[in-house]
Amino acid sequence: MNIRPAQAILNELQDGQALNQLAQAFHDSIAAVREHGKPATVTFTVTVGTLEGQHNLVEPPIIMTADVTTKLPKAKPPATIFFVDHDGNPTRNQTRQQDLGLTIAPALQEGVK
Cross-strand bridge partners of residue 48:
64
- The DSSP string of the chain is --PPPHHHHHHHGGGGHHHHHHHHHHHHHHHHHHHHSS--EEEEEEEEEEPPS----SS--EEEEEEEEEE---PPPPP---EE-TTS-EESS-TTS------PPPPPPTT--
Q: What is the pLDDT of residue 48?
A: 96
Torsion 103-109-112-113 (CA) sign:
positive
Does residue 73 carry a pLDDT above 80? Answer: yes
Task: Confirm whether 10 is domain-assigned.
Answer: yes
Task: Confirm whether 46 is domain-assigned.
Answer: yes
Higher pLDDT, 85 or 100: 85
Q: What is the pLDDT of residue 30?
A: 97
Q: What is the pLDDT of residue 106?
A: 84
Please give the C-alpha separations between residue 5 and each of 8, 10, 20, 25, 91, in angstroms, as whole numbers. 5, 9, 18, 23, 63
Q: What is the pLDDT of residue 45?
A: 98
Count of domains forming the chain: 1
Task: Confirm whether 112 is domain-assigned.
Answer: no
| Host domain of residue 10 | 6-71
Task: Confirm whether 14 is domain-assigned.
Answer: yes
User: Average pLDDT, whole number, for the chain?
Assistant: 89
Averaged over 21-35, what is the pLDDT? Answer: 97
Task: Confirm whether 53 is domain-assigned.
Answer: yes
Does residue 18 carry a pLDDT above 80? Answer: yes
Task: Confirm whether 93 is domain-assigned.
Answer: no
Task: Confirm whether 60 is domain-assigned.
Answer: yes
84, 90 Cβ separation under 8 angstroms: yes
Task: Confirm whether 43 is domain-assigned.
Answer: yes
